[in-house]
Amino acid sequence: MNTAAIMRYCGVSLVGVSLLMMASACVAWHEKSEAAMIPLSYSGLLTATAGIFPSIFVPKQKNIGIREGFFIVTFSWILACLFGALPYLMYGGEFTPVNAFFESVSGFTTTGASILNDIEALPNGLLFWRIASSWIGGIGIVALVSIFISAKDDKLSILASAESSDLARNGYGRRKKRFVYTMLTIYTGITVVSAIALRICGMRWFDAVTHAMSACSTCGFSTRNASIAAFDSISIEVVLAVAMVLGGCNFALLQATFLPSHKGRTILNSEVFRSFILCIMAASVMTAADLLLNGRCESFNGALRQAVFQIASISTTTGFATTDTDTWPPLSITILCLCSVFCGCTGSTSGGIKVDRALLAAKGMKSRLHSLAHPSRVMCVKIDGHIRRTEEVEDACTFILFYLGLIVAGAFVNSVGGMDLRSGISASIACMGNVGPGFGSVGATGNYSGLPDALKVSSMVLMLMGRLEIYPFFMIFGIYKR
């Protein structure tokens, strides 16, 4: 085990976190909010100090294997969450140690679950840090670190391999350096364009920038207690819905689509993207019809407006809200739950099982049934015109099995901890899928503040495992060997 490599690159990731803290402190200074500026400044200095020492005093390492990569990924996220909680702790208020860590983990994993009962009471500097942590979490701290590593030696971009699944990298021809740069370029571009569009739609610049960052990272943190319902604007909802869907797409496909210099498969001819969009459209129409038939909306247009935004929000694991979905009919709630499990595409910022894996597993099962009925035939599984190896199909099925098993385990823990069945199951699904809001006591109009500290800790574990796609945790404990 190359311990020096783990220390060095975890230190580099902390330096990146400290720079974002300093940027948030500048926002606090601009907004004349000393209550946020001091905690952010001190936290930034402490985080920078902790990151600089191993970055400077530990020599550069060249022998980084996949096991070290998984260790760097996991510990980078955990350390970022620990140091990211410092501004909240220093600010005080509702932020007890467990609450501060919960908010930090929720941000960096782009979950969007919160313990805050009054978001608008926070100073703007701290609100910006809260959403900035989710923005850097969306692109992936380790992916940012890999940029600097890859600049010298592309072989060392093994860190990007550990942070992202193999399916996510297929669109990049397995060139990991290109993978990282593409993610950063597309991610920043969507954020900037979304912020400008929201400003044109009537948001002030602070709200426009923060909500654009939150939408593109598919986190769902808002600066308002009522989330997007506070703005009551169709144009704002349309911009955010588009930003969320783009955030849930494979960034390689987005680059190939919008940058003419990159030819190849685009979102227009991607089977995965078509499946993703068709699922959103079908779920939206079914939900709108259910809301109208059950008298939840007066017109189909009103029902469709609510349905499209909420389905787009949940399907991309963002968690923005324009209405209290906890009062929706059973069918609509069931559709939302299914959307929160399968979610967006690999190579995106969304959580969940991902449409790619679900499609691959479904085709694999279909192929298996055909082979049982016709043993002499050779059946192949194809996605987007490419034949998938049997190992890829098995990996997808295994991941789904692990994922659903962890949801069941989380729901059991929540039930033992005193949560009612509806809240416990939905909280487990929401945390594992990095969705944020669930139903019941953790619904769109509620939060996680009422949970016992033990359940907050177990929810944080689910958030981290969902964001890191399970296997890094198994790797560092020796349960899974690649």
Both tokens assigned to 181:
């740069």
pLDDT tens-digit map of 226-256: 999 999 999 999 999 999 999 998 887 887 7
Are 73 and 142 in contact, with CB atoms under 8 Å apart?
yes
For residue 63, pLDDT over 70 is answered with no
Contact 73, 472 (CB under 8 A): yes
d(CA 163, CA 69): 8
Q: Does residue 370 register a pLDDT over 90?
A: no
Calpha distance 112→373 (Å, rounded)? 46
For residue 233, give the 3-state DSSP assignment. coil
- Across residues 132-155, what is the average pLDDT? 66
CB 406 within 8 A of CB 470: yes
pLDDT band at 153 (very low <50, low <70, confident <90, very high): very low
Q: Longest C-alpha distance within the chain, in Å?
A: 74
Residue 268 confidence (pLDDT): 77
Residue 346: what pLDDT?
82
Round to the nearest angstrom and report the end-to-end CA distance of the chain.
15
Contact 113, 430 (CB under 8 A): yes
For residue 478, the tally of other CB atoms under 10 A from its CB is 8
Reported confidence tier of residue 259, pLDDT bands at 50, 70, 90: low
**Burial class for 195, CB neighbours closer than 10 Å (0-12, 13-18, 19+):** buried
Instruction: Give the count of alpha carbons within 13 A of 238, CB side only.
Output: 7
State yes or no: pLDDT of 402 exceeds 80.
yes
pLDDT digits (tens, 9 = 90+) for 89-114: 999 889 999 999 999 999 999 999 99
Q: For the chain, percent helix, then strand, then coil, each to nearest 5? A: 70, 0, 30
Of 77 and 384, the one with more pLDDT: 77
Which of 54-68, 178-192, 404-418 has the largest mean confidence? 404-418
| Tokens linked to 85 | 């909680």
CA 91 → CA 222, 270, 273, distances in Å?
19, 47, 43
- What would the pLDDT profile of 158-216 be if each residue is shown by its tens digit? 555 444 555 455 544 445 566 677 778 888 999 999 999 999 999 999 999 999 999 99
Nearest to 161 by CA among 56, 450, 112, 150: 150
Least confident of 257-261, 265-269, 405-409: 257-261
Q: Mean pLDDT over residues 295-319, rounded?
A: 93
Four-CA torsion 24, 69, 113, 237, nearest 10 degrees: 70
pLDDT at residue number 1: 67
Which pLDDT value is given to residue 149?
52
Q: How confident is the model at residue 152 (pLDDT cuts 50, 70, 90)?
A: very low
The rounded distance, in Å, linking the Cα atoms of 53 and 56 is: 5
Reply yes or no on whether the pLDDT at 352 is more than 50: yes
Query: What pLDDT score does 2 carry?
Result: 74
Output the pLDDT for position 155.
43
Taking all residues of the chain, what is their mean pLDDT, rounded to a whole number? 86
In three-state form (DSSP H/G/I as H, E/B as E, the rest C), the secondary structure along 303-329 is: HHHHHHHHHHHHHCCCCCCCCCHHHCC
Query: What pLDDT, on the 0 to 100 scale, is given for residue 444?
Result: 83
Residue 471 backbone dihedrals phi, psi, to 5 degrees: -60, -35
d(CA 37, CA 156): 37
- pLDDT at position 154 over 50: no
4: exposed, middle or buried (C-beta count within 10 Å: 0-12, 13-18, 19+)? middle
pLDDT over 70 percentage in the chain: 87
pLDDT at residue number 369: 84
Residue 62's pLDDT band (boundaries 50, 70, 90)? low
Exposure string of 320-335, with b = 16+ CB inside 10 Å and e = fewer, is bbbbebbebeeebbeb
Residue 421 binned pLDDT confidence (cut-offs 50, 70, 90): very high
Running DSSP on this structure, what letter comes out for residue 298? Answer: S
| Mean per-residue pLDDT, 141-152 | 54
Asked whether residue 454 carries a pLDDT value surpassing 90, the answer given is yes
User: Range with the lowest mean pLDDT among 18-22, 246-250, 468-472?
Assistant: 468-472
User: Is the model's pLDDT at 418 over the cut of 50?
Assistant: yes
Q: How far apart are CA 9 and CA 69, in angstroms?
A: 10
Confidence of residue 415 (pLDDT cuts 50, 70, 90): very high
pLDDT band at 81, cuts 50/70/90? very high
